[in-house]
């Protein structure tokens, strides 16, 4: 801290250079000289480098420079110290008349902003600074013109978008924006050179610049340098930390910096420690292993393979459901972090619900992790509704003094923690400065949706920050099979950049097609998608491609290798039966199956089929014996549903409320992912075989007594009734809703590979896990499957499917980031023709997912007197505070509790409301309920939200639909013609 003393830049500058201004408070009249802001920013960059930037990032930058770590630190500090040199130009300085007049008095002649006119927009100060710095490197240090760009782009891009070649050319054609024409221009040139000379001397790079001129900076290094400069600038531009004090004598620089750094109080990155050598000891120390339980072979092999790799890279773990892949990934992450210098972990999951489910597991792991336990570390839940998650709210309450919009009203005042164990363990905080859509991923430990990772492949503003966030972590990608072609286009590009950053990555899947595995490995390694060492050629019919469980590992630029650990010995044989689609037929069958009790899971492919099925089953079995679970519940009800399912149908010893008689859960695809639930019988609509296997993973998932003797006698054999299809036709005919969701081709191939298990005379059970890979590779391979009579139908479906996938890939590529360019090629135009800002909103998610932009509303209730209130059935929160029926006054700001409770009742409207005409009409109708008192900063929980008000019968009309909501069944939307929710 002391090396940047008070003598600093000021002592090296004359009057004209001292007069250049950088910051101006239009409200308070305060201002900051340019030299002061450059000192602040350079000082912050040095502290960030020393105390916050992970070792893996420092190592990558250092590896590109001749002087290693010393050069890297000097470069970062210098670039931060010159980042705003473009403010020493007429185009910038003319903006504030009184400050421009002071500069004119020092000989820096300039026209007024009005006189410059619209041309001034051609010289934003970032671009101007890039040009000035490039000229200075050429003229003063003899750099070749083509070598300056990779260094100067950090200056040009420090406001989030690296300049494009056309912008650079246009500025060169308007030199008057950089310095006044004529004799006055000599003063400008002298001041610009004086500032840059002083910065080079002040920040210790004068002797280094000659050697750096021959360096060809790799593009990943350019990105990281730009990102560190951005973070430094943001911190140094915060007037609460660095007040606008133009008088140099009024504060010492060391005191100014020390006070700011204390105020910011950033947690340091994780420094992983070597985990125990014995894998059993490692797992016992990190996870809740049942008494006497042994580490499973997949887990042990994954850790051993991580240790055997020459350097950390990508590991794909394919193993059955319930085999502990999450724990294996965290253990591998610990090994990878120790060897790579990664400063944290990002766990990417398919949905907000799965992210919420992972978050407490991540916290539990962190509590036991050396290098975290007893230390202060930043943690974040990264999705748009994170502030409604109770675990995250507890962390936010401990996260510092800086307010986060929409959060501190409720979370920042209590200071409560989740429980005594967390109070005594690691000091995990959701740091206030690291909140927000552009900074959240910079926290050390993050659980969030896959969208946050895919955004790193989307051309958008401040993309460099997203890259810095992932470059310093181990990245874990869960449920890799769940991402379609559109998302995979982004994922593969992100993996190519992660490989270039040497970021360790762990990919998890129970059911990953061999071709997709090869694509993931190739994207990361930067090689063609070829078989791994020891794997047979890329013919999906070859038996070795069906090895399972399977570990595949590759280092950046290396050749992949595989390991084939044994299965754990846990297995289930599932008898699969074709079953008619009639609802009464289903009710009759379940009545017979449940004669002695039991728990049944019925999985439908659409919400509409869920509700239709539940309605018929309730008529037969009664309301109390049928539960509904799907995505069309308000957020708080959805979370309560998941918790209730885990409480009743979770693992033995943890679940406390398993029905003793009979019960039926009718669910949509929400039952496929991340819920550790266990049923006696499964009924499923036909779906792609990998997803069907995920559903089967909820069947006899746990041992219940010797030989499953604790299950009803007729349900001790695991069985799956496969329906949602007309099996009597020459070629199976899936129901229309399933075709709309999945497409005909994946469904027909799924049915084809299942045929050997469906023949009633020679029925062969599906053996889990033994048959998983064979079924998946068969369904997703290219070899013909199914009877000869299916051939024409399958081929027609394939052509349609390939056309659809091609369209997906083409549309996804429009805003996809380019591949890693050659070393020495500057990042000019890196995000050209991009999407602007990207965030975790419904619009942002639609950019990386092939889904229509959906309407999301906040659901409240309108009472008979016209007043608004929160939904009446909501349960109290963790503190015992009542949440149901809280008043939401329309003439004033609701209480923080009422506003937050209302916000927790967000709901995504069904697909019907995503079509343009219906969406426009729905928005127009929803905007009629506009409450001025709730807008702006008055009520950040409810500002700008679309409010859907239900009457006292929980009904309303919207855009030609009748809507009805209940806490039992969720939302049902019916058009005038009777068509229901998809």
State the pLDDT confidence band at 483, using cuts at 50, 70 and 90: confident
Distance of CA 844 to the CA centre of its chain: 11
State the pLDDT confidence band at 895, using cuts at 50, 70 and 90: very high
Query: Which residues are CB-neighbours of 336 under 8 A, at least 6 positions away?
Result: 306, 312, 342, 474, 504, 506
Q: How far is the C-alpha of 964 from the C-alpha of 973, rounded, in Å?
A: 7
State the pLDDT confidence band at 415, using cuts at 50, 70 and 90: very low
Q: How far is the C-alpha of 640 from the C-alpha of 452, rounded, in Å?
A: 25
Q: Are 58 and 342 in contact (CB under 8 A)?
A: no
State the pLDDT confidence band at 850, using cuts at 50, 70 and 90: low
State the pLDDT confidence band at 420, using cuts at 50, 70 and 90: very low
Q: What pLDDT is stored for residue 794 in this prediction?
A: 95
pLDDT tens sequence across 638-690: 989 988 999 999 988 788 889 988 999 999 998 887 678 999 999 999 999 99
% of the chain exceeding 90 in pLDDT: 69
Any idea what the Cα angle at residue 361 is, between residues 358 and 366, rounded to 5°?
125
> Do the domains 572-768+784-799 and 279-381+442-563 match in fold?
yes
Any idea what the Cα angle at residue 642 is, between residues 638 and 648, rounded to 5°?
140
The 8-class DSSP code of residue 887 comes to: B
Q: What pLDDT is stored for residue 418 in this prediction?
A: 32
Strand partners, 24: 31
Q: How far is the C-alpha of 883 from the C-alpha of 569, rounded, in Å?
A: 47
Q: What pLDDT is stored for residue 102 in this prediction?
A: 95
Q: What pLDDT is stored for residue 215 in this prediction?
A: 96
pTM: 0.89
What number is the average pLDDT over the span 300-313?
A: 97
pLDDT tens sequence across 505-525: 999 998 899 999 999 999 999
In three-state secondary structure terms, 867 is: coil
The 8-class DSSP code of residue 576 comes to: E
Q: What pLDDT is stored for residue 216 in this prediction?
A: 96
- Say yes or no to pLDDT of 979 above 90: no
State the pLDDT confidence band at 438, using cuts at 50, 70 and 90: confident
pLDDT tens sequence across 193-250: 999 999 999 999 999 999 999 999 999 999 999 999 999 999 999 998 999 877 654 4
Q: What pLDDT is stored for residue 427 in this prediction?
A: 65
DSSP structure string for 653-690: TT-----SSEEEEEE-GGGSSS----BSEEEEE---HH
Q: Are 881 and 897 in contact (CB under 8 A)?
A: yes
- Say yes or no to pLDDT of 95 above 60: yes
Is CATH 3.40.50.300 correct for 279-381+442-563? yes
Q: Are 225 and 64 in contact (CB under 8 A)?
A: no
Which run of H or E residues covers position 347? strand 345-349
Q: How far is CA 974 from CA 582, 911, 971, 978, 980, in A?
A: 22, 12, 10, 6, 4
DSSP structure string for 269-283: PP---PPPSSHHHHH
Query: Picking from 418-422, 451-455, 692-696, 815-819, which range would have the lowest pLDDT averaged per residue?
Result: 418-422
State the pLDDT confidence band at 835, using cuts at 50, 70 and 90: confident
What number is the average pLDDT over the span 577-583?
A: 94
Q: How far is the C-alpha of 446 from the C-alpha of 355, rounded, in Å?
A: 10
Among 462, 221, 478, CA closest to 328? 478
Q: What pLDDT is stored for residue 21 in this prediction?
A: 96
Mean pLDDT, rounded, of the chain: 88
Distance of CA 180 to the CA centre of its chain: 47
Instruction: Decide the pairing of beta strands 626-629 and 550-554.
Output: unpaired
What number is the average pLDDT over the span 938-947?
A: 86
Burial of 569 (0-12, 13-18, 19+ CB in 10 A): exposed
In three-state secondary structure terms, 251 is: coil
Q: How far apart are the first and last CA of the chain?
A: 61
Q: Are 969 and 632 in contact (CB under 8 A)?
A: no
State the pLDDT confidence band at 410, using cuts at 50, 70 and 90: very low
Is CATH 3.40.50.300 correct for 572-768+784-799? yes
Q: Domain extents for the chain?
A: 14-263, 279-381+442-563, 572-768+784-799, 852-975
Instruction: Give the length of the chain.
Output: 982
The most distant pair of C-alpha atoms in the chain lies apart, rounded to whole Å, by 99
What number is the average pLDDT over the span 895-913?
A: 91
The 8-class DSSP code of residue 700 comes to: S
Q: Are 46 and 77 in contact (CB under 8 A)?
A: yes
Any idea what the Cα angle at residue 239 is, between residues 238 and 245, rounded to 5°?
135
Strand partners, 509: 318
Residue with tokens 């300039």: 110
pLDDT tens sequence across 151-198: 999 999 999 999 999 999 999 999 999 999 888 889 999 999 999 999
Q: Are 982 and 910 in contact (CB under 8 A)?
A: yes
Into which CATH architecture does domain 14-263 fall?
Answer: Orthogonal Bundle (1.10)
Q: How far is CA 550 from CA 303, 367, 556, 564, 806, in A?
A: 13, 30, 20, 5, 29
Q: Are 634 and 901 in contact (CB under 8 A)?
A: no
With b for 16 or more beta-carbon neighbours within 10 A and e for fewer, the 298-327 pattern comes to bbbbbbebbeebeebbbbbbbbbbbbbbbb
Among 52, 35, 49, 40, CA closest to 4? 40
What number is the average pLDDT over the span 4-28?
A: 83
For residues 527 and 872, which has the higher predicted lDDT (pLDDT)? 872
C-beta pairs of 107-111 under 8 Å, 24+ apart in sequence: 107/16, 107/184, 107/187, 108/16, 108/19, 108/20, 108/180, 108/184, 108/187, 108/188, 108/191, 109/180, 109/184, 109/187, 110/180, 111/180
Q: Give me the torsion for CA of 912, 917, 922, 924, rounded to 10°.
A: 170
How is the beta sheet containing 598-603 ordered, strand by strand? Answer: 626-629, 662-667, 598-603, 681-685, 719-723, 572-578, 766-768
Q: Are 332 and 357 in contact (CB under 8 A)?
A: no
pLDDT tens sequence across 336-382: 999 999 999 999 998 888 888 899 899 999 999 987 766 788 888 88
Which run of H or E residues covers position 70? helix 68-82
- Say yes or no to pLDDT of 267 above 70: yes
3-state helix, strand, coil in the chain (%, to 5): 45, 15, 40
Q: What pLDDT is stored for residue 851 in this prediction?
A: 59
Distance of CA 13 to the CA centre of its chain: 46
Q: How far is the C-alpha of 741 from the C-alpha of 605, rounded, in Å?
A: 7
The 8-class DSSP code of residue 546 comes to: G
Q: What pLDDT is stored for residue 403 in this prediction?
A: 29
Instruction: Decide the pairing of beta strands 725-726 and 681-685.
Output: unpaired
Q: How far is CA 610 from CA 613, 849, 970, in A?
A: 5, 24, 11
Q: What pLDDT is stored for residue 978 in this prediction?
A: 58
Give the E-state strand segments of 555-691 in sequence order. Answer: 561-563, 572-578, 598-603, 626-629, 662-667, 681-685
What number is the average pLDDT over the span 427-431?
A: 70
């Amino acid at each position: 801290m002391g090396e940047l003393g008070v003598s600093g830049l000021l002592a090296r500058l004359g009057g004209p250079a001292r007069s250049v201004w950088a910051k101006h408070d239009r409200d308070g009249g305060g201002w900051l000289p340019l030299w002061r802001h450059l000192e602040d920013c350079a000082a912050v960059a040095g502290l960030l480098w020393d105390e916050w930037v992970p070792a893996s990032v420092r190592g990558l930058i250092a590896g590109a420079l001749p002087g290693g770590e010393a050069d890297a630190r000097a470069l970062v500090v210098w670039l931060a110290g010159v980042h705003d040199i473009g403010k020493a130009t007429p185009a910038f300085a003319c903006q504030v008349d009184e400050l421009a007049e002071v500069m004119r008095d020092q000989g820096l002649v300039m026209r007024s902003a009005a006189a410059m006119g619209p041309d001034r927009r051609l010289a934003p100060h970032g671009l101007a600074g890039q040009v000035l710095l490039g000229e200075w490197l050429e003229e003063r240090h003899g750099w070749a013109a083509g070598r300056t760009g990779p260094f100067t782009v950090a200056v040009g891009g420090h406001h989030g978008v690296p300049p494009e070649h056309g912008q650079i050319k246009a500025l060169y054609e308007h030199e008057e924006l950089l310095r006044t024409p004529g004799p006055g221009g000599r003063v400008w040139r002298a001041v610009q050179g004086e500032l840059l000379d002083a910065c080079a001397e002040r920040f210790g790079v004068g002797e280094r610049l000659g050697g750096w001129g021959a360096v060809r900076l790799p593009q990943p290094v350019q990105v990281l340098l730009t990102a560190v400069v951005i973070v430094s600038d943001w911190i140094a531009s915060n007037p609460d930390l660095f007040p606008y004090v133009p008088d140099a004598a009024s504060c010492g620089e060391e005191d100014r910096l020390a006070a700011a750094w204390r105020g910011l109080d950033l947690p340091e990155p994780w420094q992983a420690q070597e985990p125990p050598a014995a894998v059993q000891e490692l797992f016992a120390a990190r996870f809740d292993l049942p008494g006497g339980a042994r580490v499973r072979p997949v887990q042990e092999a994954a850790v051993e393979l991580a240790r055997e790799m020459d350097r950390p890279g990508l590991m794909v773990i394919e193993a059955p459901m319930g085999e502990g892949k999450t724990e294996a990934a965290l253990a591998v992450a610990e090994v990878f972090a120790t060897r790579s210098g990664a400063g944290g972990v990002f766990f990417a999951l398919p949905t907000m619900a799965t992210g919420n489910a992972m978050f407490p597991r991540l916290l539990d792991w962190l509590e036991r992790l050396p290098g975290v336990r007893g230390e202060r570390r930043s943690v974040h839940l990264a999705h748009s509704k994170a502030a409604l998650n109770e675990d995250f709210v507890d962390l936010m309450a401990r996260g510092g003094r800086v307010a986060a919009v929409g959060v501190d009203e409720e979370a920042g005042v209590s200071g409560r923690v989740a429980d005594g164990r967390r109070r005594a363990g690691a000091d995990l905080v959701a740091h206030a400065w690291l909140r927000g859509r552009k900074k959240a991923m910079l926290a050390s430990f993050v659980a969030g949706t896959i969208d946050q990772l895919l955004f790193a492949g989307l051309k958008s503003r401040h993309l460099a920050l997203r890259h810095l966030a992932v470059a310093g972590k181990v990245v874990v990608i869960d449920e890799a099979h769940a991402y379609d072609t559109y998302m995979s286009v982004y994922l593969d590009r992100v993996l190519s950049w992660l490989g270039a950053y040497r970021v360790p990555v762990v990919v998890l899947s129970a059911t990953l097609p061999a071709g997709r595995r090869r694509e993931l490995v190739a994207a990361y390694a930067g090689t063609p998608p070829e078989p791994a060492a020891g794997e047979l050629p890329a013919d999906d019919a070859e038996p070795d491609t069906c090895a399972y469980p399977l570990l595949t590992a590759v280092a950046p630029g290396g050749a992949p290798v595989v390991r084939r650990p044994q299965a754990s010995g846990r297995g289930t044989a599932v008898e699969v039966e074709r079953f008619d689609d009639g609802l009464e037929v289903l009710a009759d069958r379940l009545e017979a199956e449940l004669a002695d009790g039991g728990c049944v899971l019925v999985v439908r492919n659409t919400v509409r089929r869920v509700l239709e099925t539940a309605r018929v089953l309730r008529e037969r079995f009664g309301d109390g014996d049928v539960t509904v679970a799907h995505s069309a519940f308000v957020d708080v009800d959805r979370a309560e549903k998941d918790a209730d399912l885990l409480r009743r149908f979770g693992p033995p010893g943890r679940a406390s409320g398993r029905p003793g008689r009979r019960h039926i859960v009718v669910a949509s695809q929400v039952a496929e992912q991340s819920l550790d639930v266990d049923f006696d019988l499964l009924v499923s609509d036909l779906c792609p075989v990998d997803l069907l296997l995920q559903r089967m993973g909820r069947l006899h998932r746990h041992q219940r007594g010797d030989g499953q003797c604790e299950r009803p006698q007729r349900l001790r054999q695991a069985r799956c009734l496969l329906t949602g299809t007309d099996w009597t036709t020459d070629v199976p005919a899936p129901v229309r809703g399933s075709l709309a969701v999945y497409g005909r081709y994946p469904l027909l191939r799924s049915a084809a590979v299942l045929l050997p298990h469906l023949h009633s005379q020679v029925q062969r059970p599906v053996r889990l896990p033994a048959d998983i890979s064979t079924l998946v590779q068969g369904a997703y391979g290219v070899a013909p499957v199914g009877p000869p009579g299916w051939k024409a139908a399958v081929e027609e479906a394939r052509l349609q499917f390939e056309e659809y996938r091609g369209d997906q890939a083409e549309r996804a590529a429009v805003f996809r980031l380019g591949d890693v360019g050659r070393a020495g090629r500057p990042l000019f135009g890196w995000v050209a023709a991009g999407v602007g800002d990207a965030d975790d909103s419904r619009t942002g998610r639609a950019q990386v997912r092939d889904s229509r932009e959906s309407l999301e509303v906040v659901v409240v209730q309108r009472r008979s007197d016209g007043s608004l209130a929160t939904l009446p059935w909501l349960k109290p929160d963790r503190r015992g505070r009542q949440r149901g029926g809280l008043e939401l006054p329309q003439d004033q700001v609701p209480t923080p509790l009422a506003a937050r409770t209302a916000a927790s009742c967000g709901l995504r409207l069904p697909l019907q409301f995503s079509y343009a005409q219906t969406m426009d009409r729905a928005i127009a109708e929803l905007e009629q309920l506009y409450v001025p008192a709730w807008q702006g900063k008055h009520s950040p929980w409810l500002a700008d939200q679309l409010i859907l008000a239900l009457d006292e019968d929980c009904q309303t009309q919207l855009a030609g639909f009748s809507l009805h909501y209940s806490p039992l069944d969720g939302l049902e939307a019916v058009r005038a013609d009777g068509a229901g929710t998809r």
